[in-house]
Amino acid sequence: MEKIQITYQTASKEELTKEEQSLIDKAIAALDGAHAPYSNFHVGSAVLLEDGSIVTGNNQENAAYPSGLCAERVALFAAKSQTKQPVRLIAIVARNQKGNAADAFSCGNCRQVMMEYANEQETRIRIIMGDHNGNYVVLDDVRNLLPFSFYSRSLN
């Protein structure tokens, strides 16, 4: 039997680099643009591109539930539609109904999109996800979030 191990670290915001802290601040600012009238669960995301530019996104709910999008995919799709720059880093934060920090761990659909972009650009994408205690889970490669993945090579 083989084992899969995922290596990650936890850190307070102050323990992260200035670049990472700045990206988290952008993701926090993006929380206010979330359209979450059903769940009242706001998620903000910020994507740092190779050239240093930042694209933000937030969750967008819809009464027809499958029609909404998560913050990560909003930011990634916007970035990819506007530039060919590789993605270096993604930060994700959330705020619950009470206005408190909440776990911001990416869903399977978002993990699939991030993994595919990392494979296409052939470089790692670092990810920082906030938790309900105001700490952050940091992984050096989003592909570790989805170890048995399906991507373009699978189609060939």
**Which CATH number does the domain housing residue 90 bear?**
3.40.140.10
d(CA 83, CA 68): 23
Instruction: Quote the pLDDT of residue 10.
Output: 95
Q: Is 59 inside any structural domain? A: yes
Instruction: Quote the pLDDT of residue 66.
Output: 87
Instruction: Quote the pLDDT of residue 40.
Output: 96
Instruction: Quote the pLDDT of residue 147.
Output: 85
Instruction: Quote the pLDDT of residue 55.
Output: 98
Domain count across the chain: 1
3 state SS of 60: strand
Residues marked active site are found at 72
CB 24, CB 127: distance < 8 Å:
no
Q: Is 47 inside any structural domain? A: yes
Q: Is 6 inside any structural domain? A: no
Could you list the beta-strand ranges (E) of 96-134: 126-130
Instruction: Quote the pLDDT of residue 113.
Output: 95
CB 92, CB 104: distance < 8 Å:
yes
- Structural domain of 31: 19-144
Low-confidence ranges of the chain (pLDDT < 50): none
> Could you tell me the pTM of the whole model?
0.93
Instruction: Quote the pLDDT of residue 71.
Output: 98
Q: Is 65 inside any structural domain? A: yes
Q: Which residues pair with 60 in a beta bridge?
A: 35, 69
